[in-house]
Amino acid sequence: DSGVTQTPKHLITATGQRVTLRCSPRSGDLSVYWYQQSLDQGLQFLIQYYNGEERAKGNILERFSAQQFPDLHSELNLSSLELGDSALYFCASSGGLAGSPYNEQFFGPGTRLTVL
Amino acid sequence: GNSVTQMEGPVTLSEEAFLTINCTYTATGYPSLFWYVQYPGEGLQLLLKATKADDKGSNKGFEATYRKETTSFHLEKGSVQVSDSAVYFCALILMDSNYQLIWGAGTKLIIKP
């Protein structure tokens, strides 16, 4: 158990809909990262937050947005969903200074999103 | 740009065989290198890491040595078990990339009893 929790575990929805994925980092971790894992694209970094502020952006679509709240949990919002958005979405957290190369990222179990 | 290249899978071995999963990287600067493992139905876990040239990371019988001259970080294990069946990801992190992990495509390992 990494200490990172994600809800829901599974989500099935239709094209055009909007969903929210939730992540609670390990106790004390200030950084939260979101990743998308799909069969054809592999593991893609989406976005990072540190202590409530956006830190870095990766391959995140404009239809997707995220935020980190004062209690450090984070939400990833996916809107106008398309079939190609079906994937596993992982959240990871790390502690200490944002981006320290010595900070291990701890991954949650993921949310499996299926868009029909 | 910065990138990580892993050998394509799946890699299928018998129990107690010797394992090598190749990983090479391209990076501007001096990256830290990682191997993560993803067991079926789970998230990724850090397996081992090395932060400078000639460092050897090791964990659970797995080892990898940071080779700057060949820009490689190959994962090895002397005797694999069925429980090692998983997907293995090589990754690097660079200060220049705002410390974002840059991932390889992953290599699926299947160990047969």
**Nearest residue of A to residue B101, measured between CA atoms:** A45
Q: Is B99–A100 a contact, with Cβ atoms under 8 angstroms apart?
A: yes
**Nearest residue of B to residue A40, measured between CA atoms:** B105
Question: pLDDT-based confidence at A100, cuts 50/70/90?
Answer: low
Tell me the average pLDDT of chain B. 92
Tokens for A69, please give them.
């709240």
Probe site for chain A from B51, B87, B101, B108 (most A CB atoms < 10 A): B101
**B4: closest CA among B82, B106, B109, B76?**
B106
User: Residue-wise over B48-81: b if at least 16 C-beta within 10 A, else e?
Assistant: bbbeeeebebeeeebbbbbbeeebbbbbebeebe
Residue located via tokens 């094209």: A15
Count of all residues that appear for chain B in the document: 113
pLDDT at A102: 55
pLDDT at A94: 87
- Over the stretch A66-89, which tens digit does the pLDDT of each residue have? 999 999 999 999 999 999 999 999
Q: Is B43–A101 a contact, with Cβ atoms under 8 angstroms apart?
A: no
**Nearest residue of B to residue A47, measured between CA atoms:** B100
Question: pLDDT-based confidence at A2, cuts 50/70/90?
Answer: confident
The C-alpha atoms of residue B21 and residue B38 are separated, in whole angstroms, by: 15
> Which residues in A lie closer than 8 A to residue B89 (C-beta atoms)?
43
Q: How many C-beta atoms lie closer than 10 Å to residue B3's C-beta?
A: 12
